[in-house]
Amino acid sequence: MRQSLIALPLIALPLLFACGPDDTSNGGQVILCDEGEVQNPVTGDCQPDGATNNGGGTNNGGTNNGGGANNDGNNTTGNNVGGPDGPVDPQCVDGLYREAPPTRADLSTELANYSSADVRGFIVDVLDARYPIGSYLVSGGLQADPARFGGNCIDLFVRDTSSGEAIIGQLSTVVHECGHFFDIDQGITARGNFYAINETLSFTCSGGGAPINRGPTPARSRMTGDDYSSKRPPCDGSRSNDCDSYADVYLDGNPDDADFQGGDQGFGSVLEETTQYVNSLATGYAYGDFVRGSVSERDGILTFLWYVERYLKMAREDYPAAYDGLLADACWREAILTVWGRAWLYLDLTESESNLGINDAAIEALVLDPDLLSEIQRVRDAHGCGM
């Protein structure tokens, strides 16, 4: 759901992913999975988590290049523009990422032919016209087993089918949520954390879970106790512009109690949300001419870049075994740097799109803290960049 004029997360039902299973299936009790299994954050079921980082999972039409990445041999797609200009290394994975940006193709034919009887066809058509990666992600999400999620990602997240314009106004949410369905479904099959980046590049990494599902990485909600939370504290229901409304959704709960909440999940979920908030911003850019008022696409991805930095710092200082496991794994290094670079590509493209942000300038200043940027540099160093 796009939020106008107030700084709330760009979500409609992402609580499905942020908060995990409700109490209809397990009486509100945590499901303790066997060793080598993780709890699916949507269904609450236990699933294998034993993949090795050798390129397992879905190969999107290309050769496997190791490190858990499945691609066509590089990290480019389509008719690309130059790389990102933000805080990236032009000689490393993040600065080398290329992607064809969305267009502003004319949609008058699609809008004139819109029928509420074929919402799915309309969504695919308008995404194909302007943001083909979004079409790929939606198609992937629609292939997920609906029984696993309680329905398909269009029917669950499209609320207003009264017009083509109304559908376009919900595309950021649709692409974001279908991206979740795609990744989670593929991750269950591949027995790891799966991240679809574009049509030819994905990652399947292992060991991104938290103690709640017997994984090695700390709960993401522990970031609320770090030195940076006070710079933009959780809103706790407030609508102030100076607080972090995303923390209320994604960093909730107490990881030391017996109740499962979204904030109990580990690093894999942090990177998953970051991946989908890049897609939210890309979709917002593609259909920015349909935006009325101001929406929070830039706020969302900047918040999660801040979370990635903070999580890495917290893990390095307080959970060294978990941190060492992440940085020793080429899959996690490449996935982190790829998502970081892709995020800055779209932040650069939307820098002058004032309607795609609300408090984005304040959040960006937090992301650009030199101490936090050094956490990304550590990932580059571990990956051998500049050596």
Do 185 and 17 form a contact (C-beta atoms < 8 A)?
no
Amino acid identity, position 176: H
Position 243 scores a pLDDT of 97
Please name every residue paired with 202 in a beta bridge, in sequence order, or none if there are none: 70, 196
Residue 34's H or E segment, with its range, is none
Instruction: Tell me how far the alpha carbon of residue 9 is from its chain's centroid.
Output: 13
Amino acid identity, position 97: Y
Please name every residue paired with 262 in a beta bridge, in sequence order, or none if there are none: none
- pTM here is 0.83
Angle at alpha carbon of residue 294, lines to 199 and 276, rounded to 5°: 25
Taking alpha carbons only, the member of 157, 192, 123, 135 closest to residue 15 is 157
Cα–Cα distance for residue pair 300/282, rounded to 1 Å = 12
Position 258 scores a pLDDT of 83
- Rg, Å, the chain Cα set: 19
Position 213 scores a pLDDT of 84
By CB atoms closer than 10 A (0-12, 13-18, 19+), residue 381 is middle
Cα–Cα distance for residue pair 115/131, rounded to 1 Å = 21
Position 254 scores a pLDDT of 93
Cα–Cα distance for residue pair 32/340, rounded to 1 Å = 33
Position 208 scores a pLDDT of 96
Do 299 and 293 form a contact (C-beta atoms < 8 A)?
no
DSSP assignment of 239-307 equals --TTSBHHHHHHS-S-TTSSS--GGG--HHHHHHHHHHHHHHHHHHHHTGGG--S---HHHHHHHHHHH
Taking alpha carbons only, the member of 176, 184, 178 closest to residue 152 is 178
Cα–Cα distance for residue pair 302/48, rounded to 1 Å = 32
As averages over each run of 10 residues, the pLDDT of the chain (387 residues) reads 33 35 27 38 38 33 45 50 79 96 96 98 98 98 95 97 98 98 95 96 96 93 97 93 95 91 96 98 97 94 98 98 98 98 97 95 98 98 89
